[in-house]
Amino acid sequence: MKRVIFVDDEPQVLQGLRVSLYSRRKDWEMHFVENGAKALELMRASRFDVLVTDLRMPGVDGATLVARTRTDSPDTIRIVLSGYANEQQSQRLVSLAHRYLSKPCEPKQLEECVDRCLATQSLIQSAEVRAQLGSVTGLPPMPATFAALQRALADPAIDSSKVAVIIQKDPAISAKVLQVCNSAFFRLPRRVASIQQAVSYLGLSTVRSMVLSAELFDPGNTMCAALDLPQLQRHALSVAALAQSLAADTAWAGDAFLAGLLHDVGLLLLGREHKDAMQRALEAAAAGMPLADAERKFTGIDHGTAGAYLLGLWGLPFEVVEAIAHHAEPARIAQSSFDVLSAVGIAHALLAEIRPAEVPAYEASTPPLGDEYLRAIRYPHSWQSLVERASVLLGVEEAA
Amino acid sequence: MTGSAATILIVDDEIQNRKLLEALLRPEGYLTLGAANGEDALASVAKCPPDLILLDIMMPSMNGYQLAGTLKANAATSNIPIIMVTARVDRSARLAGLNAGVEEFLTTPVDRAELWLRVRNLLRLKALGDDLRKHSSMLEQLVQARTASLAAINEQLRDEMRRRQTVEIELRLAQKLEAVGRLAAGISHEVNTPIQYISDSAHFLRSAFAHLLGTTASVDPTEPALRDADSHFLRKEIPRSVERIIEGTQRVAAIVRAMKDFSHPGTGEKIVSDLNRALEATLLIAQSEYKYVATVDLQCGDIPEIMCNVGELSQVFLNLIVNAAHALADAGRDSATGRIRIRTQLVDGWVELNFDDNGCGIAEEIIAKIYDPFFTTKEVGRGSGQGLAIARVIVVDKHAGYIGVVSTPNVGTCFTLRLPVGGPAAAIP
């Protein structure tokens, strides 16, 4: 039974939540408290799996509560449920909370959110994962340039020239970012010659994602023979561009791009950390065993979970972590809306369908998606129309 | 007489008389001209206006009175003083001369001293009169020039007043919208909290009642207690009431969300974008809205790419196109008669976009309200009244641009957007 604590200074809201979630009383042990101080006290006394809190409360407010929980009980899922829509505040919370829900939030939406967070969390926090990925110190730290960018972006007055200065400190990364910017995917009207131009044309969040990808796909990595770094990188960019175009005009298009670029980061990690086991896993997968099963059999962990675990440690948005954990089989997660996970999942499946020749042998058993999945996430277009759209985008890249 | 020598015209048909007068005047330094009759005198005056005329009365054809009358009647010559030289001393002759406008009389035989004195006095008077006229005409010119410059300043002031009035109206609108935005943010928080628990409770009632119905399904509905309570009615109406509550809270929630969107319409970042391409893409998306009521004529001008949030601007384009489509539908247009013309061009450092339709137009009495949040003329479900309010926020507040409209009822509407080429930073003075 999962333990969930709800915090809101309005008793009526707590009562409403209590009755509307009554059908979940067998899965969740629910506690309802009226202020932050009491919540902290309860959470000190025993561990909770999920915290759902309002923001504006007298005394210990929601932001403080979430921050304290993050330090004191990092594995607890932190969800903000607030009727208060202040952009700056939610910006700050993005890094602190796993999810941000706006009041009013229908019971189904809240349940789905909690279930999904728990599913991903239990996956990447499982005993097996800890055992496999071992001591946290052995894992690669967040790459330096990306980390510097993350710190710089906390400053709201940051502009493209300051960003360019940070990126240009590493000429190899700058060159790689420019190379990606000038690939046909982005259909830029002219050659981008500087990082500053790249930021003006593609936006900060896209360039930041490219920096992270350039740092991760470092050719200095020595991996098992079945993994081809340039191919992985090409594939990652295709998925990212597709996911971003599917998510165009949404607030999270940037996250979709980032998740697309990083969806196979687990392969890099396992291919390096468990070179021999991974080689055997990939060979078994090429021989027909589902990839995730083979990975779990030989290395004890699949690459989606491994990647999600690593990015979770780095503090990337939870939507991105979740998308990476389930990108190969998004349908495994019950969801009723189109989001980062479904965008990356769809992009991944579209690519496999349109370019079967480019799918590495070890990924051949990835289950396809179709109209049924699109209906489940209430996506308003047909699979066929997506295939056509994606073919156009990929065709452009091919022609160039 | 000062300055150059004065010119005196002597008019007499007797040459001896002229010679005599000349002889009397020349030693005093005057220049003299002569004329033997009225016609010669007029010609001489026209050719070279003298400072004084000595005039005989008795002359053939035009006599002295007639000549004096003619000269005095003419504005160009009326200022030339005339001394009538005559042998007649009778009263009627003098009156006739004064009537004709002459200034002085001299009787012959002429007394030298008297001639000099009268000539000198009249010349002095004329000089003073001339000065006076010169000054007053100068004054007149000065006054005219000053009046003209005052009129110009006046016009400038009027322009400035008009400009200030426009700015003031825009400022008032901006303040009003800002106040509405703040209010919306505050209200949405206050309203969302009760909606949360109303909706939670209603969802609970729905599932709990269904559960209850399931467990009491086996109870005999003809049981007296149940019959009294009209259980059939309750079984049907309770779930419907609960659905109404849920549907109502969903609607309130949607309105509050729209208000919130208005106060914070997205936070995407600005990148360099091609608006012509964005327009093409938007037209593709909106096709189902307009294809039965209009043909679209997209005239892409040669415009530079600009720094903007292209997603937000596409939303503005979409709103304008959908509005145009609705206006065309209301005017009964179809794809053959309806027209939406969209034009992009570069105007004085701004990218200008025109959305021009021949739809039903906007009534004059509501045109000032179209940017007010929640103002709508559309029936429920067709518009939230947020489209133009959000368009204004996106174009004016977030892109330092301009949005304006010209509309004639039953003729059509043209919206104009202007965006600074250098991006919002370039437009801030």
Tens digit of pLDDT for each residue in A295-305? 989 988 889 99
pLDDT above 70: residue B90: yes
Which is higher by pLDDT, B187 or A109? A109
Q: Are residues B284 and B396 in the same domain?
A: yes
Of A125, A150, A169, the residue that ends a domain is A125
Query: Is residue A381 a part of any domain in this protein?
Result: yes
Residues in chain A closer than 8 A to B266 (CB atoms)? 251
> How far separated are the first and last CA of chain B, in Å rounded?
68
Residue B136 maps to a domain: no
- Domain of B308, CATH number, reads 3.30.565.10
B204:A19 CB<8 A = yes
Higher pLDDT, B162 or B373: B162
- Helix residue spans in A169-290 (DSSP H): 171-181, 195-202, 204-216, 229-246, 253-262, 265-273, 275-286
Task: Look at residue B133 and tell me if it is in a domain.
Answer: no
Domain shared by B281 and B251, yes or no: no
Report pLDDT for A74.
84
Of B188, B190, B196, the CB nearest to A105: B196
Residues linked to residue B415 through DSSP beta bridges, in sequence order: B355, B405
Asked if B279 and B419 sit in the same domain, the reply is: yes
Alpha-carbon distance A30 to nearest alpha carbon in chain B (angstroms): 16
d(CA A280, CA A271): 11
Give a yes or no: residue B218 inside a domain.
yes
The predicted pLDDT at position B266 comes to 52
Tell me the average pLDDT across B36-46. 90
Q: Record the tokens describing residue B226, joined without a space.
A: 């149940």
Residue B35 has pLDDT above 70, yes or no: yes
Task: State the DSSP string of B349-367.
Answer: TEEEEEEEE-SS---GGGG
Stretch B85-89: mean pLDDT: 80
**Whole-angstrom distance, CA of residue B106 vs CA of residue A10:** 120
Distance CA B413, CA B360 (A): 8
Last-in-domain residue among B94, B110, B126? B110
Using pLDDT thresholds of 50, 70 and 90, give the confidence band for residue A246: confident
The pLDDT assigned to A136 comes to 43
Dihedral angle, C-alpha B21, B27, B30, B32, nearest 10 °: 40
Interface contacts (A, B; CB < 8 Å): 83
What is the per-residue pLDDT for B383? 59
Instruction: Say yes or no: A22 contacts chain B, CB-CB below 8 A.
Output: yes
Among A125, A147, A166, residue at a domain's last position: A125
Whether B135 is in a domain gets the answer: no
> pLDDT-based confidence at B184, cuts 50/70/90?
confident
Domain count, chain B: 3
Judged by CB atoms closer than 8 Å, whether chains meet at A16 and B198 is answered as yes
Copy the structure tokens of residue B6: 């004065």
Q: Average per-residue pLDDT in chain A?
A: 85
Alpha-carbon separation of residue B199 from A16, A199, B204, B237, B256 (angstroms)? 8, 44, 8, 18, 15
What domain count does chain A have? 2
Residues of B in contact with A248 (CB under 8 A): 311
> How far off is chain B from A291, nearest CA to CA, in Å?
37
CB-based contact B188 A85, cutoff 8 Å: yes
Question: Is position B143 within any domain?
Answer: no
More confident residue, B268 or B123: B123
B18, pLDDT greater than 50: yes
- Chain A interface mutation, best of B195, B200, B211, highest count of A Cβ atoms under 10 Å: B200
Out of A383-387, B77-81, B291-295, B370-374, which region has the weakest mean confidence (pLDDT)? Answer: B370-374
Q: Which positions in chain A touch B267 (Cβ < 8 Å)? A: 87, 251
Q: A-chain residues within 8 Å CB-CB of B277?
A: none
- Gap between the Cα atoms of A84 and B264, Å rounded: 12
A322/A236 Cα distance (integer angstroms): 17
Q: What is the CATH number of the domain that holds A194?
A: 1.10.3210.10
Chain B partners within 8 Å of A10 (Cβ): 193, 197
Please report the DSSP string for A92-157 in residue order.
Answer: HHHHH-SEEEESS--HHHHHHHHHHHHHHHHHHTSHHHHHHH--GGGSPPPPHHHHHHHHHHTSTT
Best of B192, B197, B316 to substitute, by most chain A Cβ atoms within 10 angstroms, is B197
Look at A98-102, A122-126, A285-289, B5-9 and tell me which has the smallest mean pLDDT: A122-126
A157 at B interface, C-beta within 8 A: no
Confidence grade of residue A152 (pLDDT, cut at 50, 70, 90): confident
Q: B289 with B406, same domain?
A: yes
CA distance A292 to chain B (A): 36
Q: B297 - beta bridge partners?
A: B341
Across A1-5, A334-338, B9-13, B198-202, least confident range: A334-338
**What is d(CA B367, CA B408) in angstroms, rounded to the nearest whole number?**
10
| B428 has a pLDDT exceeding 50 | no
Tell if the CB–CB gap between A12 and B197 is shorter than 8 Å: yes
Q: Looking at residue A97, what is its pLDDT?
A: 84
Q: Is the predicted ipTM greater than 0.85, yes or no? A: no
B382 versus A353: the higher-pLDDT residue is A353
**Residues of B at the A interface, defined by Cβ within 8 angstroms:** 185, 188-201, 203-204, 207-208, 249, 253, 260, 264, 266-269, 271-272, 274, 305, 307, 311, 314
Same structural domain, B294 and B408: yes
DSSP string covering B104-119: EEEESSPPHHHHHHHH
A94 with A206, same domain: the answer is no
Q: B248 and B284, same structural domain?
A: no
Quick one: B302 and B412 in the same domain? Answer: yes
Domain ends where: B263, B282, B310?
B263
Domain shared by B291 and B411, yes or no: yes
Give the whole-angstrom CA distance, residue B159 versus residue B391.
29
- Does residue A101 sit within a domain? yes
Q: For residue B204, how far is the Cα from the chain centroid?
A: 63
What pLDDT band is residue B1 in, cutting at 50, 70 and 90? Answer: very low
A194 touching B (Cβ < 8 Å): no
Q: Does pLDDT of A263 surpass 80?
A: yes
Q: What is the pLDDT of residue A324?
A: 93
Are A94 and A143 in the same domain? no
Task: Note whether A271 and A337 are same-domain residues.
Answer: yes
CB contact under 8 A, B266 and A251: yes
Taking an 8 Å cut-off on Cβ atoms, the answer to whether A104 and B196 are in contact is: yes
* CA separation for the pair A145, A155 (Å, rounded): 16
Token output for B382: 């067709």
- Cross-chain residue pair A106–B203, CB shorter than 8 Å: yes
Confidence (pLDDT) at A87: 45
A151 touches chain B (CB under 8 A): no
Q: Which residues of B touch A255 (CB under 8 A)?
A: none
More confident of the two residues B216 and B32:
B32
CA–CA distance, A47 with A339 (Å, rounded to integer): 30
- Residue B7: phi and psi, rounded to 5, are -105, 130
Give residue-wise pLDDT tens across range B265-322: 555 667 788 899 888 878 877 787 888 899 999 999 999 888 888 878 888 898 899 8
Q: Is A327 in the same domain as A359?
A: yes
> Is the CB of B193 less than 8 angstroms away from the CB of A106?
no
Strand-pairing partners, residue B340, are: B296, B357
Do A109 and A196 have their domain in common?
no
A83 and A203: one domain? no
Q: A323 and A183: one domain? A: yes
Q: Do A184 and A35 share a structural domain?
A: no
In chain B, what percentage of residues exceed pLDDT 90? 33
Q: A87-96 and A62-72 helices cross at what angle (nearest 10)?
A: 10
Q: Does A83 touch chain B (CB under 8 A)?
A: yes
| CA A24 from centre of chain | 27
pLDDT at A88: 44
Do A87 and B269 make contact, defined as CB atoms within 8 angstroms?
no
Nearest by Cα to B12 from B39, B40, B42, B35? B35
Same domain assignment for residues B339 and B295 = yes
Contact A200 B249 (CB under 8 A): no
> Which letter does DSSP use for residue B51 in this model?
S
- State the residue range of the domain holding B89: 7-110
CB nearest to B267's CB, from A16, A87, A248: A87
**pLDDT of B95:** 86
Distance from CA of A335 to the nearest CA of B (A): 19
Does residue A248 share a domain with residue A116?
no
- Across the interface, do A20 and B208 touch by the CB < 8 Å criterion? no
Mean pLDDT, residues A51-74: 90
Side chain identity, residue B143: V
- Residue A206 belongs to what domain range? 136-399
- Cα–Cα dist A268/A217, whole Å: 8
Cα B146 from Cα B286, distance rounded (Å): 60
pLDDT band for position B2 (cuts 50, 70, 90): very low
Note the residue count of chain B. Answer: 429
Q: Does A16 touch chain B (CB under 8 A)?
A: yes
For residue B158, give both structure tokens: 């009027």
* Residue B88 scores a pLDDT above 80: no
One domain, residues A302 and A343 = yes
Contact at CB, A251 and B188, closer than 8 angstroms: no
The shortest CB-CB distance from B271 to any of A10, A23, A201 is to A201
Could you report the per-residue pLDDT of A311-335, keeping only the tens digit for each? 887 878 888 999 999 998 888 887 8
B44 domain residue, yes or no: yes
Domain boundary, last residue among B110, B127, B145? B110
Model pLDDT, residue B268: 61
Q: Are residues B286 and B420 in the same domain?
A: yes
Higher pLDDT, A64 or B370: A64
Residue B427 has pLDDT above 50, yes or no: no
How does DSSP classify residue B53? E
pLDDT exceeds 70 at position B200: yes
From CA A288, how far away is CA B114, in angstroms rounded? 146
B428's tokens: 């801030």
Same domain? For A288 and A316 the reply is yes
CATH number of the domain at B62, please: 3.40.50.2300
User: B192 vs A104: CB contact, 8 Å cut-off?
Assistant: yes
Domain assignment present for B324 = yes
* B312 and B406 belong to one structural domain: yes
B192 contacts on A by Cβ (under 8 Å)? 83, 102-104
Asked if B271 and A84 come within 8 Å (Cβ–Cβ), the reply is no
Among the candidates A74, A90, A125, a domain finishes at A125
Considering the domain architecture, whether residues A29 and A89 belong to the same structural domain is answered as yes
Query: Which single residue is written with the structure tokens 């707590």?
Result: A14
Give B193's contacts in chain A (Cβ within 8 Å): 10, 13, 83, 103
Q: What is the CATH number of the domain that holds A39?
A: 3.40.50.2300
State whether residue A127 sits within 8 Å of chain B by CB: no
- Gap between the Cα atoms of A342 and A323, Å rounded: 8
Residue A130 forms part of a structural domain:
no
| Nearest residue of A to residue B315, measured between CA atoms | A249
Eight-class DSSP state of B294: -
Cα distance between residue B242 and residue A60, in whole Å: 36
Contact status of A105 with chain B (Cβ, < 8 Å): yes
* B166 lies in some domain: no
Domain match, B54 and B87 both: yes
